[in-house]
Structures are given as structure tokens and as C-alpha cells.
């Protein structure tokens, strides 16, 4: 290589190194790397930025943690909420309670919801006055159970600021509620029939205090919010309904924002 060619090659190398040096070295530390291990009671997702965030506890259905829970955590994050996916099963050695919900009744599982709420309220990056709860199926029934005023007192809990129950099994009695509650369910749900929730909500027509709200989506079946193929699961139809899902997301965001982010403009 002659001297001119060598000089040109060196110039190119220096130019390339300078270009590479325009960006700071990536910080790879405990504060920038998330480690998810088996056996954890929960997985916390935080929004970008600093400050005291509003937060939501996510409670899975009878089959345990699914990909839909991760999707919901990211959805809530995009709305400005911290999201805690709570695993009620793994540490107890439970595979599922599908078809045998009484093996771990929602009224008992409500203690997990209160424990998760207490954990979030104790964190410096969470606003303790703005903690909500969303439950799905068995977790939805748990969300309803955690909304009962006497149960909050019995478990020495603190009421959630807002609760959303997706396709829950609704009870037959109407105890006094400790918080506002939104129920979202499909008209064609053959696992947790919508009419049970209609009958339950009707019991609160003349009640004082908090009353449950109910939205029934036409033709939607169980798990209508989860992007998964239509299928039979423990003898029941599950299937994604894009229209019902999108409408439910809008309703959930509006409900949460009105209770947990009152500083935002609301319709």
C-alpha cells in the first residue's frame, strides 16, 4: 500500500470512529435492566418519566398469567399508568382453578388484591390515592369481591379508587360497595352469563352509595378482549371481538381517568 492509500485508509477509519462516538455508551445497570424470574408474586411496569404515577393492579383469570396480561400492562403504561400484574397461583403451586373456582374463591383471593394495593401505595413512585384494580374472569369476580365494603374492613384493606371487572361471575346478593365499579361482559358469554350481572346490578337501583355500572357487548363471548383464535376452553367458547374489545378499552380508559387522573379533560 503506497503512502497516499495508507493515509486515505487512516482518514476513513478516524472518520468512522468519530461517527460512532456521536452517541453515548449505553448504560447497562440494575436500574436499566429488568429481570423477570419465575416464582414472583408480581411484575410491575412503570410509565416513562418521574413522579408519583397512578397505578392499576391486574388480576388474571382461572388459567393464570397469560399474554393478554402483558398486553394490558403495556396498554396501561401507554395511558400513563403503572401496572402490577399479580400472580395469585405460582407461589401457591396452583396450575389453574378453571371449572373449580371454589377451590380458591374470589372472596378469599380478594386478600391478594388488597396486599397488592398496599404494596403500590407504599412505593415512592406511586400516588397512594390513585390505585385501581382490573380483574378478568375469576380475577373479575375477585375484583367485585374486593369492592365489598365489609370485606375491605374484614381484611383490613383500603378501598381501590376505581375497579373494572371484565366478564366476571356476578354474585346473587348486593352488599354495600366501597368503590365505583365498571363491569364489561359479552351477551354471548356462556361461562359467566351476562344476565347474572344484569340481575345483580338491578339490585342496586335504589341503593345508596356506590353502584356498579354494566356494559354488555352484543355477540361477544368470554375473553373478548384477548387477541387469540376462537376456541373451546374447559367446554366454553372464548374468542376475540375487535369491536367489543376496542369499545371496552375506551370505556376502561375513560372510567380510570375519571377516577385516577381527574386533572385530565374528560368527556
Q: Output the nine-digit C-alpha cell for 229.
A: 383464535
* Phi, psi for 85 (deg, rounded to 5): -80, 115
Is the separation of the CB atoms in 241 and 217 below 8 Å?
A: yes
Per-residue pLDDT 10s for the chain (267 aa) are 555 555 455 455 445 555 555 777 777 877 767 677 777 889 999 999 888 999 999 999 999 999 999 999 999 999 999 999 999 999 899 999 998 888 899 999 999 999 999 999 999 999 999 999 999 999 999 999 999 999 999 998 899 999 999 999 999 999 999 999 999 999 999 999 999 999 999 999 998 899 999 999 999 999 999 999 999 999 999 999 999 999 999 999 999 999 999 887 765
Are 217 and 247 contacting, i.e. CB atoms less than 8 angstroms apart? yes
Measured in degrees and rounded to the nearest 5, phi and psi for residue 236 equal: -120, 150
Q: Which pLDDT value is given to residue 33? A: 72
- What is the spatial distance between Cα 73 and Cα 126, in angstroms, rounded to a whole number? 15
Residues 6+ apart with CB under 8 A from 61: 136, 137, 138, 139, 140, 223
* Cβ neighbours for 144, distance < 8 A, ≥ 6 positions apart: 106, 135, 163, 165, 168, 170, 171, 181, 183, 212
Does the domain at 37-260 match CATH 3.40.50.1820? Answer given as yes
Domain boundaries, the chain: 37-260
Angle at 246 between CA 163 and CA 209, to 5 degrees: 25
**Cα separation, 192 vs 133, whole angstroms:** 20
Determine the distance from the C-alpha atom of residue 182 to the mean position of all C-alpha atoms in its chain, rounded to a whole number: 14
Cα–Cα distance for residue pair 182/172, rounded to 1 Å: 17
Residue 10 has what pLDDT? 46
Q: What are phi and psi of 114, to 5 degrees?
A: -65, -40
The alpha carbon torsion through 243, 245, 250, 256 (nearest 10 deg) reads 160
Amino acid at each position: 500500500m503506497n503512502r497516499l492509500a495508507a493515509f486515505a485508509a487512516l482518514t476513513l477509519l478516524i472518520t468512522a470512529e468519530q461517527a460512532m462516538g456521536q452517541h453515548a455508551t449505553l448504560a447497562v445497570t440494575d436500574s436499566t435492566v429488568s429481570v423477570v424470574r419465575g416464582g414472583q408474586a408480581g411484575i410491575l411496569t412503570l410509565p416513562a418519566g418521574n413522579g408519583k404515577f397512578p397505578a392499576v393492579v391486574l388480576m388474571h383469570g382461572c388459567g393464570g398469567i397469560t399474554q393478554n396480561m402483558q398486553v394490558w400492562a403495556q396498554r396501561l403504561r401507554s395511558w400513563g399508568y403503572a401496572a402490577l400484574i399479580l400472580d395469585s397461583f405460582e407461589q401457591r403451586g396452583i396450575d389453574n382453578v378453571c371449572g373449580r373456582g371454589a377451590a380458591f374463591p374470589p372472596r378469599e383471593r380478594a386478600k391478594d388484591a388488597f396486599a397488592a394495593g398496599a404494596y403500590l401505595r407504599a412505593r415512592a413512585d406511586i400516588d397512594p390515592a390513585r390505585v385501581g384494580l382490573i380483574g378478568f374472569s375469576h380475577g373479575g369476580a375477585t375484583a367485585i369481591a374486593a369492592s365489598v365494603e365489609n370485606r375491605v374492613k374484614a381484611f383490613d384493606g383500603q378501598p381501590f379508587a376505581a375497579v373494572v371487572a371484565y366478564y366476571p361471575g356476578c354474585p346473587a346478593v348486593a352488599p354495600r360497595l366501597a368503590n365505583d365499579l365498571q363491569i364489561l361482559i359479552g351477551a354471548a358469554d356462556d361461562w359467566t352469563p351476562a344476565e347474572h350481572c344484569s340481575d345483580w346490578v338491578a339490585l342496586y337501583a335504589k341503593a345508596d352509595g356506590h353502584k356498579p355500572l354494566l356494559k354488555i357487548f352484543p355477540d361477544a363471548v368470554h375473553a373478548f378482549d384477548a387477541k387469540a383464535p376462537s376456541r373451546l376452553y374447559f367446554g366454553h367458547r372464548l374468542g376475540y371481538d375487535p369491536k367489543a374489545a376496542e369499545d371496552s378499552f375506551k370505556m376502561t380508559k375513560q372510567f380510570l381517568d375519571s377516577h385516577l387522573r381527574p386533572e385530565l379533560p374528560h368527556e
